[in-house]
Amino acid sequence: MKRPMKIFILGITLIISTAIPASQESKTAEDPEAAYTRVINQRAQKIVNTLGITDTAKVLRVRNIIAGQYRSLRDIHDSLDDRIKAAKEKAGDDKKSAKAEEKSIRDKAKAQQDKLHKEYLKKLVVELSPEQVDKVKDGMTYGVCLVTYNQYLKMLPDLSDKQKEKIMALLVEARENAMDAGSSNEKHKWFRKYKGKINNYLSSAGYDLKKAEQDLRQRQKAASAEKQSQAQETQTK
C-alpha cells in the first residue's frame, strides 16, 4: 500500500510543476533595470537615513536626487566603456590613433561628469544644510574621508592646526572626485592618490610616517592589553 502512495504523490508534484506556464516562470525573474532601480533606491535611502530628516515628502525628494545621481553616473561610465571599446576596435593596430581617440572620449566624459556634479550639488543645497550635504558626500564614498583624517590624527598627535587643515582639504578634494567614480575600487583609488599627496606633504615637514605608524600600532597594542587586563581583574573580583 505504501508504494502506490509514493507514486500518487509524485504524480501530483509533476502535475503542479507542469501546470505553471513557462511565461509565468520568466515573469518571476526581476528585470535587470528594475533590479538596478531597487538597488540604487536602497543605497540612497541608507544615506538619507543619516540626515535626520523628518518630513516624509522631503525624504523622498532627497532619496530620488541621490538615486538619480547614481543612475546618471552609471550612464556616463557605461557609455564611456562602450565608446572606448568601439574606438579601439576601429583603430585596430594603430595604437597611436586608438590612444588619441580614447583621450578625446575620456575628456568629453569628464566634462559631462563635472557638469553633472555641479547640477547635483545645486539640487542638494536646495533641500539640505551644508552639514547634511557633507553627510551625503560621505555616504557616497563610504565615509573614507573622516576615517582617514582621524587615522592621521591618531598616528600624528602633534600635528599643527595648519597641518590638520591641509590634510582635511586634500581629503575633501579626494571625496569630491571619488563621488563621481563608477565603482568602489575607483572611489578608493582617489583616496589612495590623495593619501600619497598627504604623505609627501608630511614627509617634507619632517615626519617619519613609517615610524609614526609603528608607534601607533604599539600604542594600540598596549591599550588593548591594558583593557584585557582590567577585564580579567573585574572578573576575578
Tens-digit pLDDT profile for residues 142-178 = 999 999 999 999 999 999 999 999 999 999 999 999 9
Same domain, 115 and 39: yes
For 69-119, what is each residue's pLDDT tens digit? Answer: 999 999 998 888 788 888 777 777 777 887 888 888 888 989 999 999 999
- Three-class secondary structure of residue 180 per DSSP: coil
Same domain, 123 and 178: no
With beta carbons less than 8 A apart as the criterion, state whether 194 and 170 touch: yes
Residue 203 lies in a domain: yes
Residue 174, judged by CB atoms within 10 A of its CB (0-12, 13-18, 19+), counts as buried
User: Which residue among 129, 158, 183 closes a domain?
Assistant: 129
Q: How far apart are CA 152 and CA 205, in angstroms?
A: 14
The pLDDT assigned to 103 comes to 87
Q: Closest by alpha carbon to 141, among 223, 201, 90, 69?
A: 69
Same domain, 38 and 125: yes
Residue 175 lies in domain: 141-226
Residue 124 lies in a domain: yes
Same domain, 39 and 110: yes
- Three-class secondary structure of residue 20 per DSSP: coil
Q: How far apart are CA 174 and CA 197, in angstroms?
A: 10
The answer to whether the Cα torsion of 112, 185, 127, 130 is positive or negative is negative
Same domain, 57 and 100: yes
The pLDDT assigned to 1 comes to 47
Residue 115 lies in a domain: yes
Residue 79 corresponds to which amino acid?
Answer: S
Residue 4 lies in a domain: no
Q: How many Å separate Cα 96 from the centre of its chain?
A: 34
Count the domains in the chain: 2
Q: How far apart are CA 51 and CA 151, in angstroms?
A: 24
Same domain, 119 and 193: no
Same domain, 162 and 194: yes
Lowest mean pLDDT among 6-10, 51-55, 196-200, 217-221: 6-10
Residue 14 lies in a domain: no
Same domain, 36 and 116: yes
Q: How far apart are CA 11 and CA 7, in angstroms?
A: 6
Residue 26 lies in a domain: no
With beta carbons less than 8 A apart as the criterion, state whether 187 and 141 touch: yes
**pTM, whole model, 2 decimals?**
0.79
Share the mean pLDDT of the chain: 87
Q: How far apart are CA 144 and CA 154, in angstroms?
A: 15
Same domain, 169 and 214: yes
User: Which residue among 129, 164, 187 closes a domain?
Assistant: 129
Same domain, 161 and 97: no
Residue 47 lies in a domain: yes
Same domain, 94 and 171: no
The pLDDT assigned to 17 comes to 46
Residue 176 lies in a domain: yes
Q: Closest by alpha carbon to 47, among 120, 148, 154, 155?
A: 120
The pLDDT assigned to 99 comes to 83
List Cα–Cα distances, 176 to 44, 106, 145, in angstroms.
Answer: 17, 18, 10
User: Which residue among 65, 99, 129 closes a domain?
Assistant: 129
Same domain, 36 and 125: yes
The pLDDT assigned to 112 comes to 93
